Amino acid sequence: MNIQNIKSRKIALAPFNAISMALSVLLERQGISIVSIFDNNRKVQEKLFRGIPIYGANEDNVKDLTVIVCSFISLKQIIKQLTQISSENIIEYEDVVNQNDLENMLAAFEEIKLNGDLDNINEYHKNVMFGSGDLSIRAAVPPIDTNKDSIILPLTTLVLTEKCTLRCKECSHFMQYFKKPKEYSADDIISSFDRLLTVASFIRCVGISGGEPLLHKDVLKVAEHVCKSERVGYVTITTNATIMPDENFFIEISKCENLIIRLSAYGEYSKYINQIAEQCEMNHIHYAILNNATWYGGLRITERNEDFEEVKHIFRACSTKDILLKEHSISKCHLACFAQSLEAVPDDAPGIDGCLDILSPDFCTVKLREYLDSNDPLKACSICSGASRTREQVLPAEQIKETLPYKQYKVRV
């Protein structure tokens, strides 16, 4: 561990997750005590983890502390939040841990679970951590040689299909707009994924999603291929539990040691959630039940916004951090990804294209980095409702009977 620059400091960790849990154990073994853990989740605030209090960060309680940010998906966002409340000493966890610490972190997390140190933490966090905690640590420290010019991607979602068993009003993948949903071939998905890994050196987490991924007849083929890659930390299949896979599905998935089945709990709609969880336990498959009481909604395809200054504000306030790979396009924006399929993005809107064609001959590390790091609004920002600024809380999985209307700028073939 690289602890020379933090030995004499008062240390806090953020957020409360598997990485910070394991790191707290390793640091204390080095004689470094943790003052607090910061997390925005109010369900865990004011509770104790191994005697360490969990708080929401504010100007008063970050004073004189060095905060180690223990996240790879929301790293920049958390650093930005801490900076805004005058936190001056911020360290990324990768400056403290290295590849040699990986097995120790895994062992520390197993110790945490065995000791019952999560017993006083809310059930939602326990489900997620018991289901995926060890694997998220494995993704935290890539087990490959990388250099400063490498691109390490955060959560990257493979979209298998636009078909879904539900039509949720606030779907973040915009299934509520598709009248003629399309399914993508497994061979095309795998080819695009392999092409992406010729440019990116490592992907922390690959999500297999849709629509509803269990509708895709070759979901196993895709999952098995992705799980075999040494350049992937861990893999998730996210399902709404409206479909019960056959016995062979669980037998084959159990061979994928770095895979987690994520079960979205949508009440009466997720009628197979208990049976899937039971099969996962019987077959020793990692799983997590996502008991979201509310969603952050309000994201809509709107009429084109002609005020480019307002469009810039929408882009700057955006909290989306996921990468999506659909067919042969990669995107850093959910709306841009699916609005492209819906032909909802005006070509003449100011800004950059929201999607990159990864099969293009000029697709390379430099081009991908320029796209990911660009501070220019996307063309799709002109049709975005800007919901990320308001963070409207809505009921999860509210169903609608008809697809939502929107303006189409091209006829989809």
Element (H, E) at 15: none
pLDDT at 155 over 80: yes
What topology is assigned to 142-413 in CATH?
TIM Barrel (3.20.20)
Q: How confident is the model at residue 72 (pLDDT cuts 50, 70, 90)?
A: confident
Pairing of strands 329-331, 323-326: antiparallel
Q: Measured between alpha carbons, how far is 148 from 151 in angstroms, rounded to an integer?
A: 8
Q: Does residue 158 register a pLDDT over 70?
A: yes
CA angle 364, 150, 15 (to 5 degrees): 125
Domain 11-134 and domain 142-413, same fold? Reply is no
**Beta 89-92 vs 295-297: how paired, if at all?**
unpaired
Indicate the helix (H) or strand (E) that contains 208: strand 202-209
Choose among 170, 176, 177, 253: nearest CA to 214: 253
pLDDT tens, position by position, 201-222: 999 999 999 999 999 999 999 9
- What are the backbone dihedrals phi and psi of residue 267, each rounded to the nearest 5 degrees, phi first? 60, -130
Is 158 or 321 the better-scoring residue by pLDDT?
158
Please give the share of the chain, as a percent, with pLDDT higher than 70.
Answer: 94
Query: What is the chain's mean pLDDT, rounded?
Result: 90
pLDDT digit string, tens, across residues 345-374 = 999 999 999 999 999 999 999 999 999 999
39-43, 172-176, 213-217, 388-392: least confident range = 388-392
Residue 60: CB atoms within 10 A of its CB come to 9
Determine the pLDDT at residue 128: 60
What pLDDT sits at residue 119? 82
Q: Taking 50 as the threshold, does the pLDDT of residue 149 lie above it? A: yes
Integer Cα distance of 109 and 115 in angstroms: 10
Structure token pair of residue 401 = 């009977």
* Extents of the domains making up the chain: 11-134, 142-413
**pTM score:** 0.88
pLDDT in tens, 381-413: 999 998 776 677 888 999 999 999 999 986 444
Kindly state the helix (H) or strand (E) to which residue 338 belongs, with its residue range. helix 334-341
Least confident of 55-64, 312-321, 341-350, 378-387: 312-321
- Please measure the distance between the N-terminal and C-terminal CA atoms of the chain and give it in whole angstroms: 54
| Gap between the Cα atoms of 310 and 307, Å rounded | 5
pLDDT at 131: 57
pLDDT of residue 413: 41
Query: What are the beta bridge partners of residue 286?
Result: 260
Question: How far from the centroid of its chain's Cα atoms is residue 298's Cα?
Answer: 19
CA atoms within 13 A on the CB side of 162: 20
Q: Which residues contact 232 (CB under 8 A, 6 or more apart)?
A: 202, 203, 205, 206, 226, 258
Q: Per-residue pLDDT averaged across 55-68, rounded?
A: 91
Judged against a pLDDT cut of 90, whether residue 182 lies above it is answered with: yes
Euclidean distance between CA atoms 371 and 240, whole angstroms: 32
Q: What is the mean pLDDT of residues 3-26?
A: 91
Which position has the token pair 């999506």? 324
**Bridge partners, residue 209, by sequence:** 159
Q: In sequence order, which residues have a C-beta less than 8 Å from that of residue 220 and are 6 or more positions away?
A: 249, 252, 253
Question: Averaged over 35-57, what is the pLDDT?
Answer: 92
pLDDT tens, position by position, 76-112 = 888 888 988 877 799 999 899 988 898 899 899 889 9
Question: CA-based angle 326:224:131, to the nearest 5?
Answer: 90
Has residue 321 got a pLDDT over 80? no
For domain 11-134, give the CATH number.
Answer: 3.40.50
- Of 229, 209, 78, the C-alpha closest to 142 is 229
Q: Give the Cα separation of 291 and 267 in Å (integer).
A: 9
Q: How would residue 124 be classed by pLDDT, with cut points 50, 70 and 90?
A: low
Structure token pair of residue 99: 């590849």
127 pLDDT band, cuts 50/70/90, is low
CA distance 98 to 112: 21
Q: Where are the alpha helices (DSSP H) in 265-307?
A: 273-282
Query: Given a cut of 70, is residue 126 above it in pLDDT?
Result: no
CA dihedral sign of residues 373, 374, 379, 384: positive
pLDDT over 80 at 344, yes or no? yes
Whether 280 contacts 127, CB under 8 Å: no
